[in-house]
Structure 1
Amino acid sequence: MRFTPVHIQSFLSMALATGLVSLAHAQTEAYPDRPVTVVVGYPPGGSTDLTGRAVADQLSKKLGVPVIVENVGGAGGAIGAHKVSRATPDGYTLLLGANNEIAINRLISTSVKYSYKDFTPIGLVASTPMVLVASTQSGIKTADQFVSTVKAKPGKYIYGSSGVGTALHLSAEMAKQQAGLFMSHIPYRGVGPLTTDLYGGTVDFGVYVLSSGLSHIRSGKVVALGITEKKRSAVAPDIAPLADHPALSNMDISVWFALMAPPNLPEAVTARLRRALAESLQTPEFRKKMEDSGSTVAPLNVEMGKFLMDETAKYQKIVEFANIKE
């Protein structure tokens, strides 16, 4: 048979394609063969950073390579999340994110160009409830008093959170929506300024992540009215869920953390990471770190696609109710 230039070109194209497929397969089979970076969209020291470092430590042991945390702060976690959504899908750049940057930010800001669909979900890591507290000067000590007092004087009371559109802000708006309450919101730049104004009675109510609020609750400087999840927390079983009140029976919102990868991650790499994460979540060392921080380790059977869709739909309803836009 006589080979024409067309035959030769076709043969070379097939050989090149086969070579590239083989190379990609070999790279996938070798994964990981160098350090992995876990991006955290906040500065060091917060709950997302703590969770990210605990996950990275365990993943390093399970994957057999260094797993490095990179803090990329800014825009409520959106800068770090955006970076990962555009990263090469090879398994070497991951995101340890919370619901704010993964699901909420896109709903409130037109400047956020990605959504939860722009990631390959590896798995849910942990969740932590928030807690609604009252200033001691308000005289309010129970969820029942909170609902009846605020309802009786619409517009009189003020609550604070750590920022517009955060999960803490949305949890209070969820309570307002369910119980038919009207309160004004003051956003703060972190827990410190909010705590100062609660102590001084400048604001009547506030929302903390449970781990951040416990020391203030235990010291008697603020009064816990209830946690935002339907079940009691193991770290503070004496604080009842807000959902125990009939007017707040559908209250169930938390801060959750998930491990995400760029879109179009190869199936073999995705499976390797999911297996490593599942093994990490079951280690006693990791579980203790999460429990000590007030978090609950996620179950292993969470179907992430449905979870993210349901959570985003829940936040969308609250955002529309509160008319939150940046």
Structure 2
Amino acid sequence: MLRRFFTRSLNKSNVKFNKSSRNLGRNMAETSMYPPIEPYDTGRLKVDDIHELYYEQSGKPDGNPILFVHGGPGGGSSPADRCYFDPQFYRIVIFDQRGSGKSTPAAELRNNTSWHLVKDIETVREHLKIDQWVIFGGSWGATLSLLYAEIYTKRVKAMVLRGVFTFQPKEIKWLYQEGASYFYPDHWDSYISVIPEEERGDLVTAYHKRLTGDDEDVKMTCARAWSLWECSVSKLVPDKEAAIKVTNDLWVTQFARIESHYMINRGFLESDRYILDNAIKLKDIPCSIVQGRYDIVCPPESAFKLHQILPKSELHFLIAGHFSKEPLIQESLVKSTDKYKTL
């Protein structure tokens, strides 16, 4: 009786548990991603007197438009991001947000808020003469996708979201002040080591002060420490890749400066629950939410609350962390984009 009730309850809530999650020993080289492709179009788009955005298109020029929204803030895009989408069906649009990736000027904080980025997405859509598109975003990319969809609802056909982050103060505190530290005390020790003990009561403020200061050596030390912390806790099973990634001075500067800028300003949102309070606007939009059960960067509560608000959403809980390239997350994301490719 209890088993039947439990099964009916899960089906009713539209929460899906990936059956392959038991296969934790699968070959990490296996992938369900589509093969690498090159863009058929690249360009630059000046959005104000300061910022110029890089954008690209790949896949099928007259296909179903889909926008990839990268994470961070400040993370930038990469060629592998094209591979979540079937190029025989999708017109794949990717752009680098202000100060990120190939957009210029690099790591620029002026005129760089959530609302500037929301308008930039709409500017890209208008520039490419796209009427409606599917939106795909993970982590901060999911945040920005939701903000865009809540304003330009009629332009969104469907959404695929991973690792939902809603910019509530408790989410910021969990990752950067207290919470995640209990699970990764060794990496946390490295993260706090560059900040004097008397300033550790507010690490976001302490980091932001240094990342926006004039001492270039201190700025780079803090950029590496901030980036290494987040990269190290992103995977269910940490590896050496994070340490390699933070040797890229440009990337860590963009990532840490822009991310701390957004964190100290709480995403430039009007209220703590702004995204969830406005999510009802998206009630008619199909949405697939892919969430690592053991995501330390973006804990599952926000994904679950969003799913409860959106009647046309499905939530996929996986035995995974935060990292988008974990095999089970990749598999679920590709299945989700396949679902909407003929929408």
TM-score by length of 1: 0.31
Q: Greater CA radius of gyration, 1 or 2?
A: 1
Pick the structure with more helix per residue: 1
More contact order relative to length (CA 8 Å, sep ≥ 6): 1
